């Protein structure tokens, strides 16, 4: 247990160290909009709220799952929850497995509900847990949804990690069937491929967060924690959020009729989101909302909950301004913007047979 507690603190410390390293080029920089100078609208007409199946969120971005279970991380959850309550931001916590075994550790998670009794809160567990664990995690937080992370790259690089992934898919299926609230399946920064998203749809998953590469790098975090078991040979493994969105099967990006009538599968994106322009780019590629972990973590570490409230307000204003510039009143309007995919992202798209010319002419069909 001691090692699990210190792991949580290590993750925060090492993720934060990555945040302070300064800018680096990511796939977000490889995506551009064709500029149409007379197609803009008025920011006052912009509605930032997004509909995700049965949920309506006030903003198209949210606090992604990070932490909890130690004294330091309980304070971080408290600060994040205060800011989420103040701004209406949906929020997830980090993996709750420790909370299911240790009442003291559980307080570092339940603080989120105490600070934000009416907000949208997501619990979090890893693949490989039981359906009963999932029910207990939801209960503990009175959670509106449960994030289930699938993190095989991280587990591979983590000395205490599991290396047997053979039962994850069937385990997920059990949880999805038994969970009293919707399950959001997510990666932790290596992306969900087209095939993975198809498998998730097959087992009835309705919400997925591709959580791609380019932001917080858990391969590096685990290598830094245990240099003796170095997996840095895998550096660069996985796909970025934008690559995953472009590659996603159409059942995740277009309206489809399912057994229970007309409903949408909801594709979320995260991984390396630094600013509102990154948010808008992910929305334009089909994400219905965008998760932010490392950037918001660093803000509460440096400036506390008030600092995050201020940042969220700035992001809201700037996101509206960007919508207006691109002629979008609602986030779904952004899927008719013309996209140029350059560099690494463009190469990925070509290698996967994605029609990049069609992407750059989406407004023609209007
Ligand atoms: C994470 N992330 C994460 N995800 C998850 O599902 N369960 C978890 O327990 C954690 N723990 C965690 C700790 C810390 C300190 C960070 C920064 C992140 C992963 C997170 O939700 C996200 O998928 C990735 O961090 C990529 O997003 P960013 O950080 O690039 O915005």
Report the C-alpha dihedral over residues 216, 208, 330, 36, rounded to 10 degrees.
60
Say if residue 122's pLDDT is above 70.
yes
Gap between the Cα atoms of 155 and 136, Å rounded: 24
Q: pLDDT tens, 50-109?
A: 999 999 999 999 999 999 999 999 999 999 999 999 999 999 999 999 999 999 999 999
Q: Which helix (H) or strand (E) holds 314?
A: helix 294-325
Query: What phi and psi values does residue 280 have, to the nearest 5 degrees?
Result: -65, -40
Q: How far is the CA of 33 from the centre of ligand 1 (A)?
A: 28
The angle formed by the CA atoms of residues 60, 139 and 199, to the nearest 5 degrees, is: 60
What's the DSSP call for residue 215? S
> What is residue 264's predicted lDDT score, i.e. its pLDDT?
76
| ipTM beyond cut 0.90 | yes
Q: How far is the CA of 358 from the centre of ligand 1 (A)?
A: 33
Q: pLDDT tens, 211-227?
A: 999 999 999 999 999 99
Listing DSSP states for 246-277 in one string gives HHS-HHHHS-EEETTEEE--EEEEESS--SHH
Gap between the Cα atoms of 247 and 286, Å rounded: 10
Gap between the Cα atoms of 223 and 318, Å rounded: 36
- State which ligand 1 atom lies nearest to the alpha carbon of 211: 23
Residue spans of alpha helices (H) in the chain: 2-19, 71-87, 97-101, 103-115, 131-141, 152-157, 168-178, 194-202, 218-225, 241-247, 250-253, 276-284, 294-325, 343-351, 356-359
> What is residue 136's predicted lDDT score, i.e. its pLDDT?
98
β-pair type (261-263, 266-270): unpaired
Say if residue 2's pLDDT is above 70.
no
For residue 365, name the pLDDT band (cuts at 50, 70, 90): low
Gap between the Cα atoms of 271 and 293, Å rounded: 8
For residue 1, name the pLDDT band (cuts at 50, 70, 90): very low
- State which ligand 1 atom lies nearest to the alpha carbon of 292: 31
Tokens coding 204: 């009835």
Q: What is the mean pLDDT of residues 226-249?
A: 96
Substitution site in 10, 19, 64 for ligand 1 pocket (most atoms within 8 Å of beta carbon): 64
Q: How many residues does the chain have?
A: 366
Residues with a CB atom less than 6 Å from ligand 1:
11-12, 15, 64-67, 94-95, 124, 147, 149, 186, 188-189, 211, 215-216, 270-273, 292-295, 297
User: Does the predicted model carry a pTM greater than 0.95?
Assistant: yes
Q: What is the mean pLDDT of residues 274-294?
A: 98
């Amino acid at each position: 247990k001691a090692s699990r507690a210190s792991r949580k603190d290590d993750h925060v410390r090492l993720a934060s160290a990555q945040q302070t390293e300064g800018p680096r080029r990511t796939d977000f920089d490889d995506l551009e909009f064709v500029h149409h100078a007379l197609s803009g609208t008025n920011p006052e007409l912009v509605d930032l709220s997004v509909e995700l199946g049965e949920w309506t969120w006030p903003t198209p971005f949210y606090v992604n799952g990070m932490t909890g279970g130690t004294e330091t991380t309980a304070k971080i959850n408290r600060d994040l929850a205060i800011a989420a309550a103040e701004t209406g931001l949906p929020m997830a916590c980090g993996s709750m497995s420790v909370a299911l075994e240790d009442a003291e550790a559980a307080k570092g998670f339940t603080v989120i509900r105490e600070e934000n009794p009416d907000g949208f809160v997501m619990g979090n567990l890893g693949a490989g847990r039981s359906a009963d664990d999932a029910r207990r995690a939801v209960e503990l937080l009175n959670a509106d949804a449960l994030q289930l992370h699938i993190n095989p790259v991280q587990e591979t690089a983590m000395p205490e990690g599991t290396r047997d992934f053979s039962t994850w898919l069937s385990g997920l299926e059990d949880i999805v069937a038994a969970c009293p609230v919707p399950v959001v399946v997510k990666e932790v920064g290596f992306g969900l491929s087209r095939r993975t998203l198809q498998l998730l749809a097959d087992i009835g998953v309705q919400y997925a967060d591709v959580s791609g590469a380019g932001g917080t790098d858990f391969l590096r975090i685990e290598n830094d924690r245990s240099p003796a078991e170095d997996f840095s040979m895998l550096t660069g493994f996985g796909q970025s959020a934008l690559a995953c969105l472009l590659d996603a099967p159409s059942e995740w990006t277009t309206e489809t009729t399912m057994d229970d009538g007309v409903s949408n599968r909801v594709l979320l994106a995260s991984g390396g989101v630094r600013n509102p322009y990154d948010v808008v780019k992910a929305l334009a590629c089909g994400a219905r909302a965008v998760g932010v972990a490392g950037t918001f973590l660093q803000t509460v570490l440096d400036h506390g909950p008030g600092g995050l409230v201020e940042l969220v307000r700035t992001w809201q204003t700037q996101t509206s301004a960007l919508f207006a510039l691109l002629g979008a009143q609602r986030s779904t309007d952004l899927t008719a913007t013309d996209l140029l995919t350059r560099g690494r992202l463009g190469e990925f798209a070509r290698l996967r047979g994605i029609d990049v010319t069609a992407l750059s002419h989406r407004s023609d069909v209007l």
